[in-house]
Structure 1
Amino acid sequence: MQCKSLEQAKSCSSEGVTKNHKLYSISDDVNICKISCSNYRPKILLLESGSEISWLTKKISDIPLLAPLLYGRGIDVIEQTTPQISSALKLKEKVILLPRGHVLGGSALLNAMIFSYGHPDDELLKEFLHSNEEFLSELFDKMEGLSYIFLLA
Structure 2
Amino acid sequence: MSTAKKLLKTLPPEYRDRLMELAREVAFPEDTRIFEEQGRADRFWIIKSGAVTLDLGLPGRRVATVETLGTGDLLGWSWMFPPYEWGFGAEALSPVRAYEFDGAEARALCEEDPALGLVLVRAVAEILGHRLRTARTRLLDFYAPHGSGPL
Q: TM-score, normalised by structure 1?
A: 0.27
Query: Between Structure 1 and Structure 2, whose CA radius of gyration is higher?
Result: 1
Give the number of the structure whose residues are more often strand, by fraction.
2
Bigger RCO of structures 1 and 2 (CA < 8 A, at least 6 apart): 1
